[in-house]
Structure 1
Amino acid sequence: MYTHLITTTQLQQLQAETNAARQPVLVFDCTADLADPTKADTQFASGHIAGAVQAHLERNLSATRAEDAVNGGRHPLPKREIFTQWLQALGMNDDTQAVVYDRNGSAFCGRLWWMLKWVGHDAVAVLDGGWAAWQAAGGAVASGPATPRPTGHFSLRAPLRRLVRTDEVAAQLGQPTQTVVDARAAARYRGDEEPLDPVAGHIPGALNRPFTDNFAEDGRFKPAAQLNAEWTALLAGRDATSVVHQCGSGVTAIPNALAMELAGFAPVGVYAGSWSEWSRTPRLPCAQG
């Protein structure tokens, strides 16, 4: 069972085993484009890992109606029951090994990795290096729509990861029991610019660790020892278990959450509403600089 990362070689082996009916595997293409959500459909149709299904950020990994959402912000999480129904429709089963990837430097596929943990499924891994690594390895590709699969028997179980709400973050603000880590680029964290949300800046007291800092030049996650050293330096003596990850809308916070686990730290909370919900909530403080 792969629970964090999987290499292209390991995925190719899993696919071979699946074809021999020994172990089920389901690959999700999580490619996204925040500026033009329709591009994800075009890119999936033009090429994807053979056998993959599409996980669209706006349609599948976010609630499309307010009554179906569990939090606010630009990409609110759908209720766990609704998400589970979608997984079943794609052919997901309790014993399925899920593999997620994108062609965006692993910026978006972590969202599905975390959501599967959130509905109690541990057998999910990010393809290290994503689409570029798969192409470089000569992995099998396909085009056009995904091949339909029989309805799966996927069970909703107890969460394996912790969702943090706005009121929880606000209640712990400034306390040593909470260390907010902001995954956005430094300019957005400082408030120099804000292209997406109504207020520029960050949650007071938050540390800044751009999610891109977790990757090597080849697009793969840095080695565990290096990640551990970098995260240890960032925390500077703060309790690692107090960390709450956030970003703009709860998507690119996940590479930080995954990197901490790769570095040997225990799973911590994710504030899914993130800055897009915080900055829209009346009377909550915002900092700059």
Structure 2
Amino acid sequence: MTRAGIFITAAELKRLLDGGGPVAVLDVRWQLNEPDGHDAYRRGHVPGAVYVSLDDELTDHSVTGRGRHPLPTGSSVQAAARLWGVRDGVPTVVYDDWNRAGSARAWWVLTAAGISDVRILDGGLAAWTAAGGRLEAGEVTPEPGDVVVTHEDLYHGALPTLTAEEVAGYGGLLLDARAPRRFSGEDEPVDPVAGHIAGARNAPSTDVLTADGTLRPADDLTRFFDDRGVAGDVGVYCGSGVTASVVVAVLRDKGIDAALYPGSWSEWCSDPSRPVATGS
């Protein structure tokens, strides 16, 4: 069953494609230690899927002071999405092969830009093949799409966001989606400062998934968020706004309109005047 219009199962996607129904499928393979998934895409992808580069097309590296993965502009998203074949009135399915990070980033960026009916493939590429879905190799060049983006500034788009200044005075609950050792400051492989934003609670994005990469059962997710005191206003961050999108998507699936802090820890820790906490 599709969950709250955010996720789609592999079986549902298979029925859509087997039935010839209109759908745009985007392959957003990305990992922290292997950000370019294009070669993996070429070796095998969901039939008809178009490769999307998280670093080049879902990020604007010309923006400074807003972390490692600054948000792109709406106009750049529109231009890219049309090249991917995304069309108005046609659903878009995004998938990845690593902890839903790439697909959640794509879901967040496209939705924040004002593109409707974007779904994350629950379980990613592994779920597709487990459901009997075949793979095709090589590149896919679709017919150009006609999608229209309604928000130029994604920091003030169709999904709620937080700035560093707003985080500093935030009265809601702040969740940190990084791994526990990064949250505690015991390990920091990427950013120059270890630790977390004072007052935040750890909610690792990988903990909302089962061992096979699909979402945990609804009751488990309710307990997971209840244990962290989720109620009222909620903001989510991670290292650079990517894996936090996974937690935001799951919260939205549960009816909680959580705000993303796009700059996340990479922006926060770049200013030595901002308070940093360590420990669990």
TM-score by length of structure 2 reads 0.92
SS of the equivalent of 2:108 reads helix
SS state of the match for residue 241, structure 2? coil
In the TM superposition, what are the counterparts of 1:1-289 in structure 2 within 5 Å?
3-17=5-19, 19=20, 23-38=21-36, 40-66=37-63, 72-146=66-140, 148-157=141-150, 159-172=157-170, 177-235=171-229, 240-262=231-253, 264-289=254-279
In 2, the alpha carbon distance for the partners of 1:16 and 1:95 equals: 19
In structure 2, how many angstroms separate the alpha carbons of the residues matched to 1:125 and 1:37?
22
C-alpha separation in 2, matches of 1:241 and 1:14:
37
Write the letter of the residue equivalent to 2:210: A
User: Are the equivalent residues in 1 in contact too, given 2:24–2:86 (CA < 8 A)?
Assistant: yes
Residue aligned with 1:28, SS: strand
SS in 1 for 2:146: coil
Q: Partner of 2:242: helix, strand, or coil?
A: coil
CA RMSD across the alignment: 1.7
What letter is aligned with 1:150?
E
The Cα of 1:224 is off from its aligned counterpart by: 1.5
Which of structure 1's runs of 4+ aligned residues deviate more than 3 A?
none
Offset at 1:286?
Answer: 0.8
- State the Cα distance separating 1:107 from its structure 2 match: 2.5
Secondary structure in structure 2 of the residue aligned to 1:169: helix
Q: What CA distance in whole angstroms lies between the structure 2 residues aligned with 1:31 and 1:84?
A: 20
Separation in 2, partners of 1:46, 1:65: 31
What SS class does the counterpart of residue 63 from structure 1 fall into?
coil
Maintained 8 Å contact 1:3/1:122: no
Contact (CA 8 Å) 1:110, 1:255: kept in 2 or not? yes
Q: Can you give the 5+ residue segments of structure 2 that lack an aligned partner in the other structure?
A: 152-156
Offset, 1:64 = 3.2
Query: Residue 167 of structure 1 aligns to a residue in which SS?
Result: helix
Question: What's the offset of the Cα at 1:241?
Answer: 3.1
TM-score by length of 1: 0.89
Shift of 1:281: 2.3
Using the alignment, how far apart are the partners of 1:186 and 1:16 within structure 2?
41
- Counting aligned pairs with the same residue, the percent is 36
CA contact (8 A) 2:100 2:123 kept: yes
CA contact (8 A) 1:24 1:95 kept: no
Equivalent residue for 2:154?
Answer: none
User: Bigger CA drift: 48-57 or 150-159?
Assistant: 150-159
What is the distance in 2 between the residues matched to 1:103 and 1:36?
12
State the number of aligned residues. Answer: 272
| 1: CA distance, partners of 2:61 / 2:132 | 36
**Cα distance in 2, alignment partners of residues 62 and 198 from structure 1:** 21
Extract unaligned runs of 5+ from structure 1.
Answer: none
